[in-house]
Structure formats: C-alpha cells, structure tokens
Structure 1
C-alpha cells in the first residue's frame, strides 16, 4: 500500500518490525485533537474522517481518508485533528518515534512517505469545496463521484460503496433520509444504478457531475 509499495527488502523489513495491524470499528476514534501524537498509520481498508472543532464549538469533517492514505503527521507533539472511523477500518499502525527513526535510516522510504503525505493532504483539501455546496443533491452527487474515483470504479463505472447511508450522511452533514432520497432520485433519473446494499454504477457521470456543480 502507500507506505510499502516500491520499497526495498531492508526498508520493508524495518517497517514490518515496528508496525502492527489494528482494526478500528466504525464510530471509534483513532485519536483526538490535542492528544499526544504517538502513532501514525497506513490505511489498508475502510474510510476514516478527519474532523476539526470550530471556534463556535461545531465539529466539521474536513477530509476523508481512503485505503492507501497515510494517517497522522510526523514531527508534531499533539494531534491537530480528530481522526475517526466512518466504517470498519483496517490499519497498519506505527509508533511515531520509531517510524521517524526508521525513515531516517531509509531515505527511499522517507521520500515515498513524503510523496504519499502530500497526496493525502491534496485529497483531503478536495473535501471542503464539496461541503460548501448548499444543495443536498449536489453534496451527495459530489461524494458519489469522489468515492468512485478513490475506490477504483471499473471501466463501466461500477464500484462498492465504502460507506453506509448513515456514514455518508454524517460525512456530508445531512440526514440519512436525505441521502437515501437523493440516491433514489438519482436512480430514477438514470444517473446511477443501485445493486444490493453497496453496489453502485455511475450510468451518466457527466450529468451527475453537473448536479454536483
């Protein structure tokens, strides 16, 4: 995945030595803003949310993390944001101090991690314009397009939703009924096809993108 792909045997061995797998159930936090920044992680499966508390006390989701994304920050003492699981998540977790030391001994791993961290930050920044869309339909359409891209939809636009309707609603700041109503409307309009609990196919990505604005 993000941190391990393309590394030599020595660097992989060093990372495996300090890493451990952890399953984070949906709804649980990996860490809270202000907590000591003791760990970093590579997200293997599932979706995490990055949340920030605003000055008025509101909690705002400012980014989503997908498989392959790097979780956390190096060289900081305290977590800047709260990171929680929107779905059951599988992570490879590294003690931050040990990871920093390992990267210092393996320049190739350090360069790869820098690239992946910058990519993760860039992806997270896409989230704020999505939430700025006033209409619920635009938010849901934008999230569907984003998930299709990040979840590697096939050539015909098929992919499995990584989030439940409830988790989508939480991510978008909407009611679950609103998300379900939008999905049903998109299917009736021929924009998407729904199969089973999580199967989705984007039938008309261009029109869906127009709805997203």
Structure 2
C-alpha cells in the first residue's frame, strides 16, 4: 500500500474518464504521455500486422494498469471492450512516484509477474488445449476477474467481447465458439439469460471443462 502522502500526491494529479464500448484508448506506436488504471469495465489489447490484420492479444480488467511504464511508445492498441472507466495519470507524475516508492515498485512488479504468468498459461491454452477447453478457459478467465468479493463458488458477468473477438483470441472459428458455448449451456455449466449476460452457477464445473 502507498503512504497517505503518496496517495494524496497521486490523487491530486488523477483524472477520471468514461469511455463507451468500441472507443480507442491507445494506438499502437503512439507516444506514451500517461497511464491509466482500469476502475470499471474491460479493455481489449491488440496488435496490428503490417498487412492490416489485427490480433487480439489480451484483456485488462479493474484494477489493471494500462500502459507500459518507462516506455516511449505504446506497444499495443487498447480499445474499450465494454463501457470503461479509467483513472488517468500523467506519465511524469507516475514514473516519478515509482522511482521514489519501494512499495509502488513492488506492487507494479507483482502485476507484471502476474501478467507474465497469465501469458505463459495462455500459451499452454492455445498450444495444447482442445477447442472446447479453450472456450471454457476464456470464460473462466473472465469469470475469475468478475467474481464478487467473498464469493468463490459462482460468478455473473457480461461477456465483454463478441464471438468474433473470442474466436480471434482463441484461434478457432466463430462457429466453433458458438457450438462450444451452446454445449456448455446445454450441460448447465453456464446460463445465458440474454445476449451476453452469463451466469456460472458452479465455477468448479467450468474449471474442470477448461482442462
């Protein structure tokens, strides 16, 4: 945790912003002038290849930090996957605080290591898991970041990305995503009460499907 003085100093420079789903938040190769904490909603990260093809490479949830610290250019494009709220901070302010605060350095290091662990786990998902396990793994990832405090057995969330983005993220076809979601729904592993509203009554059951 930051000290009271550090929190006050950071808060004095913070700016809270709201963004609608689909709004660009950062453009690949653009200059980094500030950072932002996701306080609500989901951000999707993507890379654009030279021929214009785009690959979804990650999702960010509250309270993830958006932006690469001490970088000069954004390595990824960030877009609001859902309606998003951000707490924005100027680059010079946050970097100066990181330089002076051991506690903040440790907190950001912990997040970086968690991101690395998740990236390695996702390599296993894409490299070794079946299509059914991939879809279940993605739903489990979203569910695990959406679980209410004190609740460990179930989850409720709105899917932040459509089936085309899910297929892109998982390296499968849209038809495969739809088929596997329908199968999970038929088996009672998930309940879809509207177009994107998902209830997972038993996280252990979904976890077992994820492999």
Give the drift of 1:109.
2.2
Counterpart of 1:152 (choices 128, 144, 147) is: 147
Maintained 8 Å contact 1:39/1:94: yes
How far off its partner does 1:91 sit?
0.9
Q: What TM-score do you get using the length of structure 1 for normalisation?
A: 0.80
Query: Which sections of structure 2, spanning at least 5 residues, go unmatched?
Result: none
Cα offsets for 1:135-167 (capped at 9, x unmatched): 653332111111121222633323223525x2x
Supply the distance in 1 between the matched residues of 2:208 and 2:198 (Cα, whole angstroms): 22
CA distance in 2, matches of 1:74, 1:57: 27
CA apart distance, 1:92: 0.7
Structure 1 portions without partners, runs of 5+: 1-5
TM-score, with structure 2 as normaliser: 0.81
Q: Which among 97, 101, 108 is matched to residue 113 of structure 1? A: 108
3-state secondary structure, aligned to 1:116:
helix
Task: Give the aligned CA root-mean-square deviation in angstroms.
Answer: 2.7
Shift of 1:28: 1.4
Structure 2 CA distance for aligned equivalents of residues 135 and 56 of structure 1? 29
Distance 2:8 2:82 in 1: 29
Which residue does 1:18 correspond to in 2? 13
